[in-house]
Structure formats: structure tokens, C-alpha cells
């Protein structure tokens, strides 16, 4: 059978779109942490990803002298039963990249100069 829909006259009174909005006096902004508005209406500069950008800036400054190499590695450990268990972890490796001298540059630098550096 085909389902029939009956129009009823006893509808619930629906609120208008303006009335559906939340009361702004109860709202708290997660951007500036003040009451009275929401984050999407905040006038302050968005600080949502402050920590992310702070780390990115620090890494960019550090990159001038050293490079940060990120790699995933596996750590191994022995349990009390002397069997090896694999533990997955993310590790950060720091490497200092040094300039390699060409043969002409290397001949002009003495061995004593290399040791003092």
C-alpha cells in the first residue's frame, strides 16, 4: 500500500529564525574569553592556532642554523618474560647540518683551524 499523509491543523507554533538564535548575553567567546558574544562575532584577532604558529615561527628561526628532521622510529624494550615487544612512538631527531668544503676551500684551511672550530 502507498502511505498517505494527512495534513493536520494542530501544528506546533514554530519560532521564527530570529527567535531561534541564542541569547547573546549567555554566550561566551572562545577567542577572547569574554561574555556577551560568540567567537565568530569577535572583534579581536583570532588566536585559535596561536601555539601552532608560535612553534612554526620558532622552527623557521632555528632553521637558519640547524635543520629539524622529523622521523618516525620504533623503540624496542624487553619485558619481564625476556621477549621483545614493539612500541611505536614518534621521535624527533635533531641534526646539525654542516657546510662541506670543496677541495679548493679545504686546502686553504689548515688542520689546526679545523680543530679549533
Where are the chain's structural domains? 23-116
Instruction: Find how far residue 50's CA is from the centre of its chain.
Output: 10
Coil, helix or strand at residue 39: helix
**Cβ atoms 91, 71 nearer than 8 A:** yes
Cα-based angle 105, 106, 108 (whole degrees, multiple of 5):
70
**pLDDT by residue, tens only, the chain of 117 residues:** 667 766 666 555 555 555 555 566 677 887 788 888 887 888 776 655 677 777 877 777 766 655 555 544 444 444 444 444 444 444 555 555 566 665 555 555 555 454 544
**Cβ atoms 69, 96 nearer than 8 A:** no
**For the whole model, what pTM was predicted?**
0.24
- How far is the first Cα of the chain from the last one, in angstroms, to the nearest whole number? 91
**Cβ atoms 29, 39 nearer than 8 A:** yes
Amino acid at each position: 500500500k502507498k502511505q498517505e499523509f494527512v495534513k493536520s491543523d494542530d501544528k506546533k507554533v514554530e519560532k521564527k529564525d530570529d527567535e531561534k538564535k541564542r541569547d547573546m548575553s549567555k554566550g561566551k567567546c572562545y577567542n577572547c574569553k569574554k561574555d556577551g558574544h560568540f567567537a565568530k562575532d569577535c572583534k579581536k584577532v583570532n588566536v585559535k592556532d596561536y601555539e601552532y604558529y608560535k612553534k612554526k615561527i620558532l622552527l623557521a628561526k632555528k632553521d637558519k642554523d640547524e635543520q629539524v628532521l622529523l622521523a618516525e622510529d620504533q623503540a624496542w624494550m624487553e619485558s619481564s618474560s625476556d621477549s621483545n615487544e614493539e612500541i611505536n612512538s614518534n621521535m624527533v631527531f635533531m641534526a646539525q647540518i654542516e657546510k662541506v668544503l670543496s677541495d679548493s676551500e679545504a686546502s686553504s684551511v689548515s688542520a689546526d683551524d679545523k680543530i679549533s672550530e
